[in-house]
Structure 1
Amino acid sequence: MAEGELGTRFQRRFLAARQLPSFPWPELEQNLRTSPDSSLLVDILHKHESTAAEPLDELYDMLADILNEEESTRCYKNYLLPTGEPVTLSESVAIISGGTTGLVTWDAALHLAEWAIENSAVFSNRTVLELGSGIGFTGIAICKTCKPKTYIFSDYHHCVLKQLTENICLNGFVLEPGTTQHIQKESQGQEAEATHYQNPKLIVAELDWGSVTEKQLLDLQPDVIIAADVVYDPEIILVLIGMLQKLSTSRADRKPPEVYIAFTIRNPDTYHLFQAELEKAGIRWQITPAHSNTVFLCDMQPNVTILQLFI
């Protein structure tokens, strides 16, 4: 493996705050052993191997001491786009935080962003509505790479909406006035520098799938609807399909939007239920072809599927 490629793999994992065991340590050791200019580093490796401790034990101990001194509820992660530019996110350190799972970035969001980057024409100069935006990874990546005309982030949980707003501003975007009520101080400090991404019109909408009306949806007028990891519970599936049916008739020109739903198949029964309920509602679907780029997923290939729905 070329040193540059190996270095990039370390860089991406470091910036995305991946766990240390996921780093390509064996490849690094092999590279150092075979490189004629790495005698010093090889000697260091040998010294570690001569002790009873694993090479990373000391580092883990240091990290544990730091965590014990001050417990943090969130961290900052950087996901590098193909251009080398980052998507910077403030994320929760826990899967469930504040009564919601929406404060972390899930695998389906990464896959949907990769697919979008490879199919940017779907989003270019169009109005995009994202359902269940969470903390904003997919939408921010699309806004930085696919040049949408308008991007509507949406969610319902108040903690998620607050974090989403901060992350949008953290990445140099300015929201439409009045779309959100709370922006944390550190995000406000970024607003003066937020001049590069002014083309997309960005909106954050509080959207309750169960109570939203066709009249309310009429104001959104999306050309494209996307969502990631919103198909995980039978009750949510029924509410989601009900809202998609409302969206199918909410456009003034009556032309239905394109719909793409990405999700990790954790329970095959839930996946089959979603397909069955789509058929009951008269919504056709097809699996989108797998994308070829794996920009964000370096360590694993989860069972993620992207369906295109025809509403």
Structure 2
Amino acid sequence: MEERQPRHASEAGQAPEGSLAHRFQRGFLAGKRLSDFPWEDLEEILKNSKDSSPLLTILQKTVFHPMCLKYPPSVKYRRCFLSELIKKHESTGAEPLDQLYEALGDVLNSEETTHCYKNYLLPSGDAVTLCETVAIISQGTTGLVTWDAGLYLAEWALENTAVFCNRSVLELGSGIGLTGIAICKACHPRAYTFSDHHECVLQQLSANIRLNGLFLQPEVCGHSTAEHAACKAELARSQGPNIIVAELDWNLVTRERLMELQADIVIAADVVYDPELTQSLIGAVQKLFSCSSDGKAPEVYIAFAIRNPDTYCGFQAELDKVGIRWEVVPNPRKHLFPYDRRANITILRLLV
């Protein structure tokens, strides 16, 4: 069930419309499904308001927010959002609000692109900004968009920072980087290895890491001497973890390669949806469990949305076959990211 949001000044320490605007802001910047916005709460406030100030506040925190102006959601998303705000305003019978129509006019004059941005606000006030495709499947892969299980895993990580603090983390199937970037910004790992297999995903992943002010280790920053020198200088100024992006094919990766990464923690999100892929994943996990140099196996956490119960049960059965034990990790308590709260998402910790 979605965490209850404060709706009165005594609960939030601010006016009700201020709290509501904050909820709109978090959802809008992250590209939340429009149907999941608190429209009924907005209607209630507009009925009791003497002017259009609640809508102006929402506009300032969403469409006119500096983050939106620099890293905007898709044109279609902004158009639909503004159209819905206009409907709510017109239903009150109030005078037309020029700022709303001007904002919609600007969006209608904008060209739609194949990419958009999503901005996820962290409790610290920092944000994770991602460039992703507007299509679910692009260039033959689903890895160029953010999926709910990745948001869920990031949410859990931010509540369990001790798991990652000063540890070396390997992420399998990083996609465009939401989970790993959030962990690097908020959980203070010592080192972080993002990995994936699709070339386009790796390119977009690297771009998103840099977009968020994080620095890759020199060997993945370029091939020229000048590029290496510049990247080393950036890394020296950085206070973050040592970060690399690695191309890993679960079927082909060797035990020696995994040993080089020296992972204390291994995570993955939304990688359990295809039986063939599941077999490859389990094979990689077996290699990881066998390659610890000090005899201590890494901690492994796999997050996934249970779209098909048979796939979920099949994954557990395959783990049992090869002697990998598992336990369900408790759900995160706070609602930090706008994934579908109705989705059945879980995290398994794998054990040997």
Mapped to 2, the partners of 1:25 and 1:191 lie a distance apart of 49
Q: Decide whether the 8 Å contact of 1:173 with 1:198 is kept in 2.
A: no
User: Which segments of 5 or more consecutive residues in structure 1 lack a partner in the other structure?
Assistant: 183-189
- What corresponds to 1:16 in structure 2? 30
Per the alignment, do residues 46 and 132 of structure 1 end up closer, same or farther by CA in structure 2, a change over 3 Å counting? Answer: closer
Q: Distance in 2 between matches of 1:194 and 1:75?
A: 28
Q: Which residue of 1 aligns with 2:325?
A: 284
Closer/same/farther in 2, CA of residues 107 and 191 from structure 1, 3 Å limit:
farther
The one-letter code matched in structure 2 to 1:170 is L
1:48 pairs, out of 90, 94, 97, with 90
The answer to whether the 8 A contact 1:172-1:196 is kept is no
Aligned to 2:286: 245
Q: Is the 8 A contact 1:169 1:194 kept in 2?
A: no
| Contact 2:181–2:209, Cα closer than 8 Å, also in 1 | yes
Cα deviation digits, residues 131-169 of structure 1 (max 9, x gap): 000000000000111000000000010000000000000
Query: Alpha-carbon deviation of 1:191?
Result: 11
Please tell me whether residue 305 in structure 1 is matched to residue 319 in structure 2: no
Q: Is the 8 A contact 1:155 1:206 kept in 2?
A: yes
Note closer, same or farther for the CA distance 1:267–1:45 as it changes in structure 2 (3 Å cut).
closer
Contact 2:328 2:346 in 1 (8 A): yes
| Alpha-carbon distance, 1:85 to partner | 1.1
CA distance in 1, matches of 2:247, 2:54: 57
**Which amino acid is 1:31 matched to?**
I
Q: CA deviation at 1:27?
A: 1.1
Question: 3-state SS of the aligned residue for 2:293?
Answer: coil
In structure 1, distance between residues paired with 2:88 and 2:24: 21
Between the aligned partners of 2:54 and 2:273, the Cα distance in structure 1 is 51
Deviations 1:181-226 (A, max 9, x none): 59xxxxxxx9999887533000111001001111111101100000
Q: Is the 8 A contact 2:176 2:204 kept in 1?
A: yes
Matched residue SS, 1:175: coil
Match of 1:33 in 2: 47
User: How far apart, in 1, do the equivalents of 2:18 and 2:336 lie?
Assistant: 16
Deviation at 1:37, TM superposition (A): 5.4
Structure number with the higher helix fraction is 2
Distance 1:92 1:208 in 2: 23
Between the aligned residues of both structures, percent identity stands at: 58
CA pair 28-256 structure 1, distance change in 2 beyond 3 A: same
Does 2:167 match 1:153?
A: no
Residue 96 of structure 1 corresponds to 137
Two-structure CA RMSD over aligned residues (Å): 3.1
1:142 corresponds to 2:156: no
Which 5+ residue runs of structure 2 have no aligned equivalent? Answer: 1-6, 8-15, 56-85, 224-230
Kept in 2, the 8 Å contact 1:172–1:195? The answer is no
8 Å Cα contact 1:13-1:23 kept in structure 2: yes
Q: Tell me by how many angstroms 1:299 deviates.
A: 5.6
- 2:295 aligned with 1:254, yes or no? yes
TM-score when scaled to structure 2? 0.77
Code of the aligned partner of 1:8: H
Structure with the larger strand share: 1
Q: AA paired with 1:209?
A: W
**Relative to structure 1, is the Cα distance of residues 40 and 88 closer, same or farther in structure 2, using a 3 angstrom cutoff?**
closer
Query: Counterparts of 1:1-311 in structure 2 under 5 Å?
Result: 1=7, 2-36=16-50, 48-49=90-91, 65-66=108-109, 70-181=111-222, 197-297=238-338, 300-311=341-352
Q: Is the CA contact 1:174–1:191 (under 8 Å) kept in the aligned structure 2?
A: no
Instruction: Give structure 1 regions of 4+ aligned residues with deviation exceeding 4 angstroms.
Output: 36-41, 44-47, 58-67, 190-197
The whole-number CA distance in structure 2 between the counterparts of 1:168 and 1:46 is: 38
TM-superposition CA deviations, 1:78-111 (whole Å, max 9, x none): 0001112110000110100010000001000001
* TM-score, scaled to structure 1: 0.86
- Matched to 1:106, the amino acid is W
| Alpha-carbon distance between aligned partners in 1 of 2:175 and 2:54, rounded to the nearest angstrom | 46
CA distance in structure 2 between the aligned counterparts of 1:132 and 1:299, rounded to whole angstroms: 21
For 1:39 and 1:160, how far apart are their aligned partners in 2? Answer: 43
Per the TM alignment, residue 65 of structure 1 is displaced from its structure 2 partner at its CA by 4.4
Contact 1:92/1:104 (CA < 8 Å) preserved in 2? yes
